Structure 1
Amino acid sequence: MEISSGKPLTIPDKPTFDKYLNKFPPNISELTFSNLFIWKDYYGYSFLEWENHLIIYSINFFKSWGKSITGKEDSIFFLPPIGPTPEKIILKLFKELDNLEIHRVPEMVMKKLHTEKEFERLNLYIYEDRDNWDYVYEIENMVNLPGNKYRQKRRWLNKFLELYNYDFHVISGDLIKKTLELQLEWCDVTECQGNEDLMEEQKAIET
């Protein structure tokens, strides 16, 4: 695989991403075109199609933002391949490239990796990445906020209901301007200008 043949994400690339994401829905919340696109500059994402899979990666991820598991800043950061057999593509990537790490790999793919003979031959290791687990909650708990575990959240909710009159709207094109204005107001209140992560988040929203 020629890693140099990848290209940065652009809006016209959305149909390509949709083709893979619709056919092979990911288990990871990060793997949506919208999320990848708005953070493309921050993380330096590029992509290419290889052996019927969508490959998303960043050459400079560890040099700028992330922490490499191996401690090598020149390692290439990969998200899990999207396609029919990601476990086989992962093994091929490790055979073809030096200094790479594949992050956010779903448990199902990891289990399949363990069944592949090449996994042991390549001397690969799998690490638990607790800091990047998705938040998964039971719907009933989010609706009812039961017990002591959600006591503080119930207080916040009740305080909000006491203080504010509110309407619920699905965000549409007509509301985008007001939504951006609210984000800018929030940014001023929280003084996000002094926080690099919040400023990058602001740029991502404006994208």
Structure 2
Amino acid sequence: MEISSGKPLELSDKPIFDKYLNKFPPNISELTFSNLFIWKNYYDFLFLEWENHIIIYAINFFKNWGKSIAGNNDSIFFLPPIGLTPEKIILKLFKELENLEIHRVPEMVMKKLHTEKEFERLNLRVYEDRDNWDYVYEIKNMVNLPGNRYRQKRRWLNKFLELYNYDFHVISGDLIKKTLELQLEWCDVTECQGN
């Protein structure tokens, strides 16, 4: 894989991602296009198609922001490949490249990796990254925000209610069209295509 052939993530790349994500829905929130797009400037994501997978990586993430688990800030930050056999692509990446870390690998992919003979031969280490696990809240807790655990969320909600005159609308029917128009208008104003 030629790491220098990656390109920055742009809104116009969504159809490429849709092609893969529709066939291989992500198990983690980080691999949705909207999430990747929102975080693209922070991570400085690059991507490329390689062996029928999308490869997403950030060359300077550890130098600029993150903390390398291996302690090597020259490592390249990768997300799990998107495609039919991400475990096989992960092994190929480790064979072809030096100084890389693959973060947020779903448990299902990890289980498949452990069955690969090459996994042991490469002597790869796996670390749990609890700070980046996806989380799920119980609906009743989000409705009521009970106890000390949700005190800060209650404060944020109360501050919002105090400061803003808001309306709540379910997005359906005609509002879908208006929402898309607003998104395009916002994109024109903020020049999001070139940003």
TM-score for both structures, normalised by structure 1: 0.74
Answer with 46-55 or 167-176: which moved more. 167-176
Q: Which residue of 2 aligns with 1:196?
A: none
SS in 1 for 2:128: coil
Identity of counterpart residues, as a percentage?
83
How far is 1:140 from its partner? Answer: 4.4
Change (3 A) 1:44 1:163: closer
Query: What amino acid is the match of 1:8?
Result: P
How far is 1:157 from its partner? Answer: 6.2
What value does the CA root-mean-square deviation take over the aligned residues? 3.2
- How many corresponding residue pairs? 185
Change (3 A) 1:80 1:152: closer
Gaps of 5+ in 2: 172-177, 187-191
Change (3 A) 1:83 1:151: same
After superposition, where does 1:63-102 map in structure 2 within 5 Å?
A: 63-102=63-102
Change (3 A) 1:156 1:48: closer
Q: Which residue of 2 aligns with 1:105?
A: 105
After superposition, where does 1:150-169 map in structure 2 within 5 Å?
A: 166-169=166-169
Answer with 132-141 or 99-108: which moved more. 132-141
Q: Please tell me whether residue 23 in structure 1 is matched to residue 30 in structure 2.
A: no
Residue deviations 1:103-149 (CA, integer Å, cap 9, x gap)? 01111111111111111110001101011111212334434556775
How far is 1:35 from its partner? Answer: 2.3
Change (3 A) 1:154 1:22: same
- Between the aligned partners of 2:127 and 2:152, the Cα distance in structure 1 is 33
Q: Which residue of 2 aligns with 1:115?
A: 115
Change (3 A) 1:128 1:165: same
Residue deviations 1:30-72 (CA, integer Å, cap 9, x gap)? 2122222233232111001111111000111111011001111
Q: Which residue of 2 aligns with 1:37?
A: 37
After superposition, where does 1:141-152 map in structure 2 within 5 Å?
A: 141-143=141-143, 145=145
Change (3 A) 1:114 1:152: same
Q: Which residue of 1 aligns with 2:179?
A: 172
- Between the aligned partners of 1:18 and 1:119, the Cα distance in structure 2 is 30
- Between the aligned partners of 2:3 and 2:37, the Cα distance in structure 1 is 19
After superposition, where does 1:177-188 map in structure 2 within 5 Å?
A: none
Q: Which residue of 2 aligns with 1:126?
A: 126
SS in 2 for 1:21: helix
SS in 2 for 1:172: helix
Query: What amino acid is the match of 1:172?
Result: T
TM-score for both structures, normalised by structure 2: 0.78
- Between the aligned partners of 2:104 and 2:52, the Cα distance in structure 1 is 20
Answer with 166-175 or 47-56: which moved more. 166-175
